[in-house]
Structure 1
Amino acid sequence: MAYAEKVYKVRNGKQTKQYTWRCRYKKPDGTWGSEPGFPTKVLAEKWGEEQEAKVRAGSYIDPDLSKKPFGVFAKEWMAAQRPRGRTVMNRTERLNRHILPRWQHTPLRDITWFDVEAWARSMTCAHSTTRDCVSLMSRILTGAVDARHLQVNLLYGRRLTGLPAETQGKQKTDDESMWAPPEVVLRLARRMGPVNGLLVLSTAFLGFRLEEAHGLHRRNTLLVRSQPHDGGTFTCPVVRIDKNEGAFAQYFTYDEDGKRKIFRGLEPPKTPLSARDIDVPPFLEKMLRRHLHDWPHDIVFAAPGGGYWWRQAWTIKLRQAADGRQPVPGTRGAARVEPWDPIMPGLTMRDLRHTHDTYQAQIGVKPVLAFEQAGHRYPGIKGTYQHTTPDMRQERLDGLQALYERALRNLGWDEVWES
């Protein structure tokens, strides 16, 4: 039975006649809990009876847990998660750089939407970073609810509005700038050469994510899909995005002391559906076979030396090819660098993945197959009821082959890379 007791105030080391009331109540484990600061005995007893009623109903939240600092619980929440390594890195950087400097010592129960929204509006980083920070805080507070530290997450479902205007770089306003016509892809591939250019060409016609392309192993390249069809067997070459080691990852990890070190290696792809077999059209099968015949490395699109590409190094390589480059005069020990005119300024590997999906729509690939080949979930009941067929696959391969051959004719080329 909850009860209340007086707590006398102390001034200059001496007890005064002023007092408040402290509630004492039975916790779920049978021990006595206390909560001070009530102005009257009635309010203290009422609060205690409410806690004991919640104990009986199974909805009790320990006030001591709700007072836990956000930074302490955030560390517990991060330790309980098992996302991909780069996600851990991004969350850690958001916490250390933006969130914890403001909220580390704030009790969980004192975090309100009013305060969070005001804080978000004062941030000077990119708006996308601000929204990521607020979203991460909301996920952590939802974890606090699940861990019985809070009754409710006051950030859940709230929409961040009223952010101040930010100065942004040049934005892509032309719809066509998000995808590359086949002629552009072929020109870019020729400029980058038979290895790096083949990566660009494969991304546009197969729809790789960058980490999938950089992590592709020769053992997963040009396998064979075989399906019964029309009284016989349908076969086609495939590139496999392996479910266990289908993506190259580069990110920072942190030890218990907060010391940062870099991880570079293979890990599972982005989602379970990302693990897939991608059907390869005839022209790319020929190019890949020719490439692998004399290629000494296990990584199909390895960097010079046979290792994985550093992200920044690959970005520079692509930017020079797509945006153009200035000439550099030759010096002792360094050859002259010839200038390149721009082909498609601003084009990124993500744009090339968009390009693949655009090609699929252009040649009429059935949605259920287009989603599968891109590693996406086909939404709705149709994703359960519809299935891919060999005829669908052959239509897609024929369509991609036709796009490639038409681009060659338009450019007046016989091959992408001249012998």
Structure 2
Amino acid sequence: MAHANKVYKVRNGKKTKQFTWRVKYRAPEGHDPEWLSESGFPTKKLAEDWGNEQERLIREGTWIDPSKANATFGEFARTFMASRKKRGRTVGTRWDKLENHILPRWDGVPLRKISWFDVDTWQQSLGIEDVSRGHCVSLMSTIMTAAVDAGYLTVNPLFGRRRTKDTSGDAAMPKQPKIKRDGGPRPEDAVLLAERLGPAIGIHVLTTAFTGLRWGEGLGLHRDNTLLTRRQPWGAGEFVCPILRVAEEYAEYTERDKDGRKAGYIIRLEPTKNDGSTRDIDVPPFLEQLLRHHLADWSHERVFCTQSGRPWLRGNWSKVLRPACDGRPVREKRRGVSYRPAWEPILPGLDMRALRALHDTMQSEIGVKEPLAFEAAGHRRPGIKRHYQKPTPAMRAERLDGLEDVFQRAMGNVKMRTLWGRVDLRKPQQS
């Protein structure tokens, strides 16, 4: 039980007759020191009442340690970031949001003084895309929830709240899509782009479009995980097909030290982002044929990399992809500069993410069943059906036949019989 005692004031080094009351109360179990105190009360009753209230809060589990009561958001955010072991890309993204948007406003604000009204008002003022505003608020809420768990707060005022979205003026106008074509990219675009870029780079484009590899997963694909074999019982026989095994990926980001200071720009091999991303993807016959030729020619361990064997940096890849998609003017021959022909645009704005989306669109078009569509895309299927429905060999065979037909039609539509002049990819006639 809390108890109080007098604390006499001192003036010029001498104790006076004036005093206030100091209360001592027992700290939570395991706390150092065992007893805590608070001074400055005018009466003994007020001191003891305050101390007894602290002990009641301790018993209920809602007590806040005085050493944490005035901690600022910035202080705890740095503690939070140092204690969370996430993938490097995730850490870099979080620090970018903190450094560029969150900490300039909330660094020195005590955690206990942060309210939903103030946060909601602030996020509306950010001059960034609405989805990025949501990510900033979500990160703040995650940090505030951790502050509750760490005993800095009793409740997270941001938890479960819905942001106010700006619907006035230009905010209500639909955003211009990156690819200004109804329906997005077509399989024909992937074929034309692959042909233009040549076999070493074009095979990366086709593989992304017809397997749905993420950018980092493609860079991380090892030749030892390429064209492995899936075997499953199927009726009275066996289903056999080649696969790509996705088990790791390259991430490109700015590395930070434990205090958030930039420590250099790196590209690093990491595990896949979640358990759904680690998967085996069935490969259609035409792509198997092209990949076998590529592996025979390619001397590097990583299937899709630069000619020197290093992983592509996004900036360098963009210099290759953008003119191939968007078109380029002719470059006349002059001293020290070779002639370069003009390229007509194939599809301005097309990128690797759009090619991955094309794969998902094609799966929907050919009727790939949900269990297999989610698996191939590396998405975790929501709901209880994830546990009940599994991909079957019949689903896999149907998907492979469908993708093969899509590719053959695309080749016919662009009036091509071969890719890179090296192999005839026409589907053999059924006997």
Aligned-pair CA distance for 1:384: 0.7
Give the Cα–Cα distance (whole angstroms) in 2 for the partners of residues 241 and 407 of structure 1. 27
- For 2:41 and 2:341, locate their aligned partners in 1 and report how far apart those are by CA, in whole Å: 79
Please point out which of 198, 208, 227 is paired with 1:193.
Answer: 198
Moved more, 154-163 or 135-144: 154-163
Greater alpha carbon shift after TM alignment, 72-81 vs 217-226:
72-81
Partner Cα separation in structure 2 for residue 337 and residue 25 of structure 1: 82
Equivalences for 1:131-210 in 2 at 5 Å?
131-163=134-166, 171-172=176-177, 177=182, 179-210=184-215
Q: Deviations over 1:323-378 (max 9, x none)?
A: 11222333333322222111111112111111101111111111111111111112
Residue deviations 1:376-414, cap 9 Å, x none? 112222211111111111111011001111111222211
Match of 1:358 in 2: 361
Secondary structure of the 1:233 match is strand
Deviation at 1:223, TM superposition (A): 0.6
Contact residue 208 and residue 352 of structure 2 kept, 8 A: yes
Structure 1 residue 122 displacement after superposition: 3.2
Code of the aligned partner of 1:238: I
1: CA distance between counterparts of 2:312 and 2:301?
13
Shift of 1:19: 10
2:340 is the counterpart of 1:348: no
Structure 2 counterpart of 1:180, which letter?
Answer: P
Aligned to 1:318: 321
- The equivalent of 1:128 in structure 2 is 131
The answer on whether the counterparts of 1:172 and 1:178 sit within 8 Å (CA) in structure 2 is no
Kindly provide the amino acid, as one letter, of the partner of residue 342 in structure 2: P
- Structure 2 residue 94 is matched with structure 1 residue 91: yes
Partner of 2:225: 220
Measured against aligned partners, the alpha-carbon deviations of 1:226-271 in whole angstroms (never above 9, x if no partner) come to: 11222222110001101xxx11111111235724212212111121
Aligned residues: CA RMSD: 3.2
Q: Which residue matches 1:331?
A: 334
Deviation string, structure 1 residues 188-215 (Cα, Å, up to 9, x no partner)? 1111111211111111110010111122
CA displacement 1:141-162 (0-9 Å, x = unmatched):
1001111221111111122214
Cross-structure match for 1:25: 25
| Closer, same or farther: CA 24–218 of 1 in aligned 2, 3 Å | same
Identity of aligned residues (%): 50
Decide which of 296, 316, 323 is 1:293's aligned counterpart. Answer: 296
Stretch moving more, 89-98 or 50-59:
50-59
Aligned partners of 1:126, 1:366: CA distance in 2, in Å? 34
In the alignment, residue 365 of structure 2 is paired with which amino acid?
Answer: Q
- With over 3 angstroms needed to count, the CA separation of the structure-2 counterparts of 1:10 and 1:136, relative to structure 1, is farther
Task: Kindly report which structure 2 residues correspond to 1:5-20, keeping only aligned pairs within 5 A, or say none.
Answer: none
Question: Tell me, what secondary structure is at the counterpart of 2:307?
Answer: coil
Letter in 1 for 2:251: A
Show the counterpart of 1:2: 2
> Which residue identity is paired with 2:235?
D
| From 266, 271, 274, the counterpart of 1:268 | 271
Once the two structures are overlaid, the 10-residue window that deviates more, 330-339 or 384-393, is 330-339
Deviations 1:22-68 (A, max 9, x none): 76433224644345687987665444322211222344321321322
Seen in structure 2, the aligned counterparts of structure 1 residues 5 and 120 have a Cα distance that, compared at 3 Å, is farther
Distance in 1, matches of 2:318 and 2:41, equals 62
CA distance in 1 between partners of 2:16 and 2:193 (Å): 83
The answer as to whether partners of 1:179 and 1:358 remain within 8 angstroms in 2 is: no
1:79-100 deviation digits (Å, cap 9, x = unpaired):
2212111010111122222222
CA distance in 2, matches of 1:178, 1:67: 54
Is the contact made by 1:328 and 1:337 (CA closer than 8 Å) also made in structure 2? yes
Residues 179 and 352, structure 1, Cα contact 8 Å, conserved in 2: no
3-state SS of the aligned residue for 1:379? Answer: coil
Contact 1:178 1:354 in 2 (8 A): no
Shift of 1:103: 2.1
Q: Which runs of 5+ in 2 are unaligned?
A: 423-431
Equivalent position amino acid for 1:311 in 2: R
- The question of 1:396 aligning with 2:389 is answered no
How do 1:45-84 and structure 2 match up within 5 A? 45-84=48-87
SS in structure 2 of the partner of residue 273 of structure 1: coil
Moved more, 97-106 or 286-295: 97-106
In structure 2, what is the equivalent of residue 281 of structure 1? 284
Distance verdict in 2 for CA 1:381–1:333, change over 3 Å: same
Go from structure 1 to structure 2 and tell me whether the alpha carbon gap of 1:22 and 1:327 turns closer, same or farther (over 3 Å shift). Answer: farther
Residue 73 (structure 1) shift: 1.5
Q: What is the rounded CA distance, in whole Å, between the counterparts of 2:20 and 2:342 in structure 1?
A: 81
Return the offset for 1:119.
Answer: 2.7
Indicate if the aligned counterparts of 2:178 and 2:349 stay in contact, CA closer than 8 A: no
Pick the aligned partner of 1:255 from 254, 257, 261: 257
Gaps of 5+ in 1: none
- Partners of 2:38 and 2:183 in 1: how far apart? 59
Shift in alpha-carbon separation, 1:42–1:300, aligned structure 2, 3 A: same
- 1:70–1:174: structure 2 CA closer, same or farther, 3 Å change rule? closer
Change (3 A) 1:112 1:170: closer
> Measured at CA, do residues 268 and 174 of structure 1 come closer, stay the same or move farther in structure 2, by a change above 3 Å?
closer
Per the alignment, residue 415 of structure 1 pairs with 418
Q: How many residues align?
A: 416
The 3-state SS of whatever aligns with 2:82 is helix
Aligned mates of 1:344, 1:250 — CA distance in 2: 26
Question: Is 1:369–1:393's contact at 8 Å kept on the other side of the alignment?
Answer: yes
Corresponding position of 2:428: none
Amino acid corresponding to residue 388 of structure 1 in structure 2: P
SS of equivalent residue, structure 2 residue 250: strand
Q: How many Å apart are 1:17 and its aligned residue?
A: 12
